[in-house]
């Protein structure tokens, strides 16, 4: 599943092609996505794209009459291509621009979404989200305060979107390793100093992933079709049984919160 860095890379890729251009058409070939695509998406036709922003893993294409809200789901890809480019299987939505280009959503599993958000309103799915991890609103005091009395594993805690958005499975594994924290530990039993280190590493690992183009997964590529370049630098994720690059002990794996979790029992306590 594309995580926050992959979605941010997509935003950075599509923004120059959309901002200050006019949406000439919205072509919906398949409305049966994660949620049915509403007829209201056509309201943006004829209006200029003022901005392309991101909230958690949602992209917002903003116009004066409202925003298109896009989620890539598990397998969604966005491409900026010539609007006349022949269709391939699973090309579900085109946002056609006055430039002759279009933003095309391809989603084999149809777990993605294209929704409409009216001006001065917010979709319910964007309610109750925590702060963005790369902003000052996310700091060690927030993590430490919210963790008190939490008995859930620290990995599940930092992946809770009400605590902080966008710390998906890959980057939670990596940040916990860099912080020397065992992902199985109860969140409430970790001290303030260690949460300070973890907060720093969450920010660092996400920023590095964005800078390097996201993490290469079988279902993800950048808007130019090239894969991301962060996977080659992963310390623990997907490396069960391989030697830890720090201590040479084998990387362990355990399912936490229905997600595969990778860690080193020697380096992480």
Looking at residue 2, its pLDDT comes to: 77
Class of the CATH domain delimited by 140-263: mainly alpha
The percentage of residues in the chain with a pLDDT greater than 70, rounded to a whole number, is 93
Greatest Cα pair distance, the chain, in angstroms, is 59
pLDDT over 80 (residue 111):
yes
237-250 mean pLDDT:
96
Pairing verdict, β 23-28 and 66-71: unpaired
Residue 109 assigned as binding residue: yes
Looking at residue 222, its pLDDT comes to: 62
Q: Give the three-state DSSP class for 255.
A: strand
Q: Give the three-state DSSP class for 109.
A: coil
Looking at residue 191, its pLDDT comes to: 97
Q: How far apart are CA 25 and CA 163, in angstroms?
A: 38
Helix and strand numbers, DSSP H then E, in the chain? 5, 10
Question: Where do the domains of the chain lie?
Answer: 4-126, 140-263
Q: How far apart are CA 68 and CA 261, in angstroms?
A: 34
> Please, what sign has the CA dihedral across residues 57, 61, 63, 68?
negative
> Please, what sign has the CA dihedral across residues 196, 199, 205, 207?
negative
pLDDT over 90 (residue 199):
yes
Give exposure, 13-44, as e/b (b: 16+ Cβ within 10 Å). bbbebbeeebbbebebeeeebbeebeeebebb
Looking at residue 173, its pLDDT comes to: 97
Tell me the CA distances in angstroms from 246 to 80, 202, 264, one per residue in order: 41, 19, 9
Task: Name every residue whose Cβ is closer than 8 Å to that of residue 211 and which is 6 or more positions away in sequence.
Answer: none
Question: Which residue in the block uniquely carries the two structure tokens 């621009």?
Answer: 97
What tokens appear for 31 in the block?
A: 């409305």
From the list 5, 6, 11, 57, the catalytic residue is 57
217-221 mean pLDDT:
52
Residue 90 assigned as binding residue: yes
Report how far Cα 146 is from the mean position of its chain's Cα atoms: 22
125-147 residue pLDDT tens = 999 999 999 999 999 999 999 99
Looking at residue 3, its pLDDT comes to: 86
83-103 residue pLDDT tens = 999 999 999 999 999 999 999
Residue 2 falls in the annotated catalytic set: yes
What tokens appear for 20 in the block?
A: 């200050």
In this chain, the answer to whether the domains covering 4-126 and 140-263 adopt an identical fold is no
Model confidence at 231, in pLDDT bands (50, 70, 90)? low
Looking at residue 1, its pLDDT comes to: 67
State the CATH architecture for 4-126. Answer: Alpha-Beta Barrel (3.20)
Residue 259 falls in the annotated catalytic set: yes
Question: Which residue in the block uniquely carries the two structure tokens 């003022």?
Answer: 50
């Amino acid at each position: 599943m594309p995580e926050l860095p992959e979605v941010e890379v997509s935003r950075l890729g599509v923004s120059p092609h959309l901002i200050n251009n006019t949406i000439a058409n919205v072509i919906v070939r398949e409305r049966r996505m994660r949620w049915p695509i509403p007829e209201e998406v056509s309201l943006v036709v004829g209006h200029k794209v003022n901005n392309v922003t991101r909230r958690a893993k949602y992209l917002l294409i903003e116009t004066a009459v409202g925003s298109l809200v896009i989620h890539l789901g598990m397998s969604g890809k966005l491409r900026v291509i010539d609007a006349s480019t022949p269709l391939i299987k699973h090309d579900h939505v085109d946002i056609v621009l006055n430039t002759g280009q279009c933003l095309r959503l391809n989603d084999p599993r149809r777990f993605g979404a294209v929704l409409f958000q009216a001006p001065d309103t917010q979709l319910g799915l964007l309610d109750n989200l925590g702060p963005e991890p790369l902003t000052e609103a996310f700091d060690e005091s927030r993590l430490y305060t919210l963790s008190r009395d939490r008995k859930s594993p620290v990995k599940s805690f930092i992946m809770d979107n009400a605590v902080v958005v966008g710390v998906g499975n890959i980057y939670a594994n990596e940040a916990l390793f860099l912080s020397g924290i065992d992902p199985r530990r109860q969140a409430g039993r970790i001290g303030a100093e260690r949460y300070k280190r973890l907060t720093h590493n969450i920010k660092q690992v996400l920023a590095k992933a964005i800078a390097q183009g996201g993490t290469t997964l079988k279902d993800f590529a950048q808007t130019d079709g090239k894969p991301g370049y962060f996977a080659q630098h992963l310390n623990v994720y997907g490396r069960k049984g391989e030697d830890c690059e720090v201590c040479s002990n084998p990387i362990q794996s355990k399912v936490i919160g229905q997600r595969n979790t990778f860690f080193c029992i020697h380096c992480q306590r």
